[in-house]
Structure 1
């Protein structure tokens, strides 16, 4: 198998496109998922302990199992990322620190390595949390949920509806523009390239290609924005995006109670039995 074939088989990152199906996780209100992400994010910011990370990881795995998320939804990890992780772990190991491992009369400090592993695990858990929201939530449900959650801020004359519409449009346009940019890059790669022997000419050619790609990307983005504006106007204006009925149901309160109970138990165990380290 050749190298180009292996490169074609790599699974790309798929964001903001829900996995088809009707599961209890898919049926949850979008605002519930946003509250869970925000609450867990705050919790792990102030208490990034192993117990809390493990509890959140267990919640993500159970939710992924219930939502029937296939393994194909996970992107392939490039080799250079593994290299960076190994390099970071080796570099962090030189920092030493408590606890120490006694090997043949030599004390090896594992504090730096453990901190690096904890930060890595924290990053993976947060990425998995965001991926779960992306794979189980329709983009059209996010704007009404944000408008519903931000309703108390309207008393302060904060344009919550406008923010919700802007967020919804950005989320809708993000995967669409990614596809357009991939098509542009593929079309650019198919163009014949002149053979340049001088390094100065190659650098100049590379700079010109970057400028051409940026200009083409701007034109595509403006064209897509014009088409999206016409579609929104034909459907009644931007106000209809955040005006859809939205609200929590009984299953949402049950899900919130489960998340609060698991995170609360993990935090109590982290602070009392295992300490804050």
Structure 2
């Protein structure tokens, strides 16, 4: 009984330390795949299809018209969404030193070639696209995304397209993200143990280590995908996608209105109806 009480007290103390931000484990370096945040927020109460629509519109605006005004508008919306989702700083991936070294070297080369602002803008576009995708995963459980995809692709049934098969494939891919994350973490920890925690000596050794980690992760993921395929075949094929009732609330309306306003701003600046206030940073 005393041991049980002591264990319970230790568990409560650990939970209290995590809640107050003390005693949190150090985040591993490297590109960590995001996971759904374990709490309710304004973003989680939205219909997943609304978030998919907003992300599609913002990503399309970034890729079609990567102007400075577009970058600013999308950044403001993603920042507001991150605040609404209550994303903590601990959820952000901690990129390794070699990544920042490569960015610094590329920036120096772009500066010498006269394309510094073009490089910065391209880097910002890539970062915003990744940020939007991570925000969608942070605020939405994978099992809710599949029915939302199916609802959004319902009009394609008129063209006799395999909507159910596509939705099931997306669902399987989303369910495989945690497995891929676990496999990558296990391979990275194994490589770190074999090297004794020492960083690789030189660029070639670091590149070789990265290739080995990627190859091992892909091999393990392929083996797990093969096992999943065999299990699906034994159970009768692709499982049906559950239907979800579309329920839109005031949060969905606000998100759609803000996204529409950002898209209208991008179009107005593109056609010249509104001057680009960030034109001083370089041509768009």
Instruction: Please state if 1:77 is matched with 2:79.
Output: no
Instruction: Please state if 1:25 is matched with 2:26.
Output: no
The answer for the alignment partner of 1:86 in structure 2 is: 104
Which of 134, 139, 151 matches 1:136?
139
The answer for the alignment partner of 1:158 in structure 2 is: 161
The number of equivalent residue pairs is 238
Structure-2 separation of matches of 1:65 and 1:210? 33
Instruction: Please state if 1:61 is matched with 2:79.
Output: yes
Structure 1 residues 184 and 225: alpha-carbon distance in aligned structure 2, compared to 1, 3 A threshold = farther
Structure-1 separation of matches of 2:186 and 2:153? 38
CA shift, 1:134, in A, is: 0.9
Q: CA-to-partner distance for each residue in 1:94-131, whole Å, 9 max, x for gaps?
A: 222xxxxxxxxxxxxxxx11111111111111111111
Residue pair 1:148, 1:247 contacting (<8 A) in 2 also: no
The answer for the alignment partner of 1:37 in structure 2 is: 55
Gap runs ≥5 in structure 2? 1-25, 196-208
Structure-2 separation of matches of 1:161 and 1:258? 31
C-alpha RMSD of matched pairs (Å): 3.4
Structure 1 residues 55 and 170: alpha-carbon distance in aligned structure 2, compared to 1, 3 A threshold = same
Structure-2 separation of matches of 1:210 and 1:134? 22
The answer for the alignment partner of 1:238 in structure 2 is: 239
Structure-1 separation of matches of 2:135 and 2:213? 37
The answer for the alignment partner of 1:95 in structure 2 is: 113
Structure 1 residues 209 and 126: alpha-carbon distance in aligned structure 2, compared to 1, 3 A threshold = closer
Larger Rg: 1
Gap runs ≥5 in structure 1? 1-7, 97-111, 193-205
The answer for the alignment partner of 1:263 in structure 2 is: 263
Structure 1 residues 167 and 273: alpha-carbon distance in aligned structure 2, compared to 1, 3 A threshold = same
Structure-2 separation of matches of 1:174 and 1:254? 30
The answer for the alignment partner of 2:22 in structure 1 is: none
The answer for the alignment partner of 2:200 in structure 1 is: none
Give the TM-score normalised by the residue count of structure 2.
0.71
Residue pair 1:181, 1:217 contacting (<8 A) in 2 also: no
